[in-house]
Amino acid sequence: MVMGASRQANDASVGDGPVGGAARRGAEPERYGLTERAKDLLRLKKEHGADTFAEGCGWVHIYRNAAYRETEGIVCDLERGAAVTEIILSRVPVSILPQETVATYGLVAHTKEQRDGAWKGVEGYPGMQATRSHIAMDYGKVLAVGVKGILAEINAGEARLAEAGPGQDVGGIAAAERKASFYASAGRSLKALLHYADRFRAEAARLANSEPDPGRRGELSRIAESLGRVPNEPAQGFFDALQSMMICFFALRMVAFGEPNSVGRMDYLLDGYYRRDLASGKVTARQAAELLQVPRIMSAIMTGQSDSITIAGSRPDGGPFWNDLTYFILDATSGLRLQGPQIWFRYAPGQPKGLLERALEPIRGGMAQPGFFNDAVAVEAMARAGYAKEHARDYVSCQCVEITPQGRSNVMSGYLYANLAKPLEVILGGGEEMVEDPKFKHWSDGHVPESALRGFDDFESLMEAYEEYLGHLLSVIRERADSALSHRARVSLTLSSALLEGCVEKGVPANEGGATYNQTFPTFTGLVTAADSLAAIRKAVFEDGVVSLAELAEACRENYAGREWLRQYLLNRCPKYGNEDGAADGIALRIMRAVDGGLTPYRNLYGAQFGPQYFGWKVIDEQSYTLAATPDGRRHGETPTGTFGGDQGRDRNGLTALLNSTASLDHTLAPGGLNVNARISASILGTDEDVGKMADALIAYFKSGGMEVQVNCVSKEQLLDAQRNPDGYRDLCIRVSGQSLYFTELGLALQNQIISRAEHGG
pLDDT tens digits, 110-163: 888 887 888 777 777 677 666 566 789 999 999 999 999 999 999 999 999 988
Q: Kindly state the percentage of the chain with pLDDT values over 70.
A: 87
User: Looking at 111-120, 474-483, 610-619, which range is the least confident one?
Assistant: 111-120
- The CA-based angle 247-221-251, given to 5 degrees, is 10
pLDDT per position as a tens digit, 349-376:
999 999 999 999 999 988 889 999 999 9
CA distance 729 to 743: 8
β-pairing, 261-262 with 308-314? unpaired
The residue type found at 697 is A
Distances (CA, A) of 319 to 17, 325, 392, 546: 9, 18, 13, 55
Residues in the chain: 762
- The CA-based angle 339-345-349, given to 5 degrees, is 170
pLDDT per position as a tens digit, 73-94:
999 999 999 999 999 999 999 9
pTM of the model: 0.91
- 477 Cβ contact list (under 8 Å, min separation 6): 416, 418, 443, 522, 599
Work out the mean pLDDT of the chain and round it to a whole number: 89
- 471 Cβ contact list (under 8 Å, min separation 6): 594, 597, 598
Distances (CA, A) of 579 to 297, 481, 569, 582, 703: 40, 36, 17, 9, 19
Beta bridge partners of 312: 346
Which H, E and C letters describe 329-397, residue by residue?
HHHHHHHHCCCCCEEEEEECCCCCHHHHHHHHHHHHCCCCCCEEEEHHHHHHHHHHCCCCHHHHCCEEE
- DSSP H or E stretch at residue 218: helix 214-227
Q: Are 151 and 190 in contact (CB under 8 A)?
A: yes
- DSSP H or E stretch at residue 266: helix 266-280
CA distance 739 to 339: 9
Is the pLDDT at 17 greater than 80, yes or no? no
In this structure, what are the phi and psi dihedrals at residue 736, rounded to the nearest 5 degrees? Answer: -130, 105
Q: What is the pLDDT of residue 619?
A: 86
Distances (CA, A) of 342 to 309, 454, 699: 6, 47, 22
CA distance 667 to 455: 34
CA distance 253 to 177: 29
b/e 603-615 (16+ beta carbons within 10 angstroms → b): ebbbebbbbbbbb
